[in-house]
Chains A and B, each alone.
Chain A
Amino acid sequence: GAGVSQSPRYKVAKRGQDVALRCDPISGHVSLFWYQQALGQGPEFLTYFQNEAQLDKSGLPSDRFFAERPEGSVSTLKIQRTQQEDSAVYLCASSSNPLRHEQFFGPGTRLTVL
């Protein structure tokens, strides 16, 4: 079956631009996570959804970052007024239920802010 998909795969933005990154989780997966991965580092947690509820957004680095999952399936991570330090790979992962650990990751969106 289809895995987690993300779009766009690559995004180049000028500093100050707004960007929107999309995640299509595996159908029926309740849990959805967003991570930020800088070069040479592990994924850093940004936010977590259980269905449409955003249960944890403690990892969002600033109020320029906003995520939503209005119908409990597709999720969008929005970054306003992008800065160079936002350059990273943004990974989305889903899992079938909150008690199940294994997360299935999408291929990520590589964001470069010039």
Chain B
Amino acid sequence: RKEVEQDPGPFNVPEGATVAFNCTYSNSASQSFFWYRQDCRKEPKLLMSVYSSGNEDGRFTAQLNRASQYISLLIRDSKLSDSATYLCVVKGGSYIPTFGRGTSLIVHP
């Protein structure tokens, strides 16, 4: 079983839709959680950190469920420019982050 698992998708949604992705992790000692965004043939960029109490940044909401060992990302009012791959990242006590394989989102007109 991989340490960090994501549904690769693609999730194909119309503009304005709300879409949610989950990511599960296997190491119960994991301490830090993040979502990165990667555009096609580009480098990953930090989208947002995920805090225990949940956090929001504009149209994006991230949640952590430690009991079930998953994190989620909710995107409201999807824009064409949201089309990308969303990478879940988990860190334990070391400096080394573990990336999921990513979930592909395609927002169409």
Contact = CB atoms under 8 A, between A and B. Distances in A.
Interface string A4-16: 0000000000000
Nearest to A99: B95
Interface string A81-113: 000000000010000001001110111100000
Contacts of A18: none
A101 B32 contact: yes
Main secondary structure of the interface of A (DSSP, over half): loop
A41 B91 CA distance: 18
Interface residues of B, number: 22
B98 interface: yes
B63 to A, nearest CB: 18
Secondary structure at the B interface, as helix, strand, loop or mixed, is strand
Contacts of A55: 95
Contacts of A106: 43
B96 A105 contact: no
B101 interface: yes
Contacts of B100: 42
B47 to A, nearest CB: 11
A103 B32 CA distance: 14
Given A35-B99, A42-B100, A103-B46, 4 more contacts: A40-B8, A56-B94, A105-B44, A107-B42
19 contacts: A40-B8, A40-B101, A41-B101, A42-B87, A42-B100, A43-B44, A44-B99, A45-B98, A48-B95, A56-B96, A59-B96, A101-B32, A101-B46, A101-B97, A103-B46, A103-B97, A105-B43, A105-B45, A106-B43
Interface of B: 4, 6, 8, 32, 34, 42-46, 49, 87, 91, 94-102
Interface of A: 31, 35, 40-45, 48, 50, 55-56, 59, 91, 98, 101-103, 105-108
